[in-house]
Amino acid sequence: MKLIKKQIPLAIVLVFGTLTLLTYFVPHKRSVNFLETMNKWENIVAAFAFFLGLINLFYSHYTKISRKADGWGYSIFVYIGFLAIAIPAYVSHGKNMDGSVLTWMGWAFKYIYNPLSATMFAVLAFYIVSTAYKSFRIRSLQAFVLFAAAMFLILGNVPLGQMIWDKLFGWTSYAISDIVDWIMHVPAIAGKRGIMIGIAIGVVVTALKIIFGIERQYLGKD
């Protein structure tokens, strides 16, 4: 059992991890082919796993409904939602438009999926506004810097803000867009690069830990 659950997976990780690393230094056609094959395998495995996900989804909601667990009524919508898109897709042979006419699937996409999905993203705007209200309070010098940068960016981003700036601070001869450009291209990028470098190093070390089997919790421990 240990051989199947531990040693073989670790050997696969070691061999394929090392080979993939080597492809960076080996430009040979065989190395390119190897990489392409790996990409294809990843796609195939992901496609099968998607089925697994679907089965799991249906099964868990079926259990909820059959047990009449809390909020089981919502689970019915999983099936309704699935059928509302899957049936039109089947009827329309997976096409959204037939010439310039919307197919059933196109209709379902445009008038069901489209507004639902856009609504969720739009909710973000409401959360951002309420979060801004709660978090931009000047309690320290750092908070003041954050506050000032936010003010410049918010005002500089829209015409009304630009008009307000021109009215109040036009005499300074600084255009708000110049200040926004400076904030975005100097301190913001400097900070971002620092975090990016730290993350990149972390990725390298984590990859080594995985390739050499030092970190193997993702397989379940020994």
Rounded to a whole number of angstroms, the minimum distance from the CB of residue 26 to other proteins is: 6
Of 5 and 11, which CB lies nearer to other proteins in the complex structure?
Answer: 5
Q: What tokens were used for 14?
A: 């070691």
Site for other proteins in 144-203 (CB under 8 A): 147, 150-151, 154-155, 157-164, 175-177, 181, 184-185, 188-189, 192-193, 195-199, 201-203
Interaction residues for other proteins, span 11-30 (CB under 8 A): 21, 24-30
144 burial level (CB within 10 Å; 0-12, 13-18, 19+) = exposed
For residue 68, state whether it binds other proteins (rule: CB under 8 A).
Answer: no
- Residue 156 beta carbon to other proteins: minimum distance, rounded to whole angstroms: 8
Residues 83-112 that bind other proteins (CB under 8 A): 96-97, 100, 105-106, 109-110
Ordered DSSP codes for 48-81: HHHHHHHHHHHHHHHHHHHHT-TTHHHHHHHHHH
Residues in 109-148 that interact with other proteins by CB under 8 A = 109-110, 113-118, 120-139, 147
Helices (H) and strands (E) in the chain, counts: 10, 2
Q: How far is the CB of 199 from other proteins (least distance, A)?
A: 4
d(CA 209, CA 207): 5
Q: Which residue in 147, 129, 158 sits closest to 183, CA to CA?
A: 147
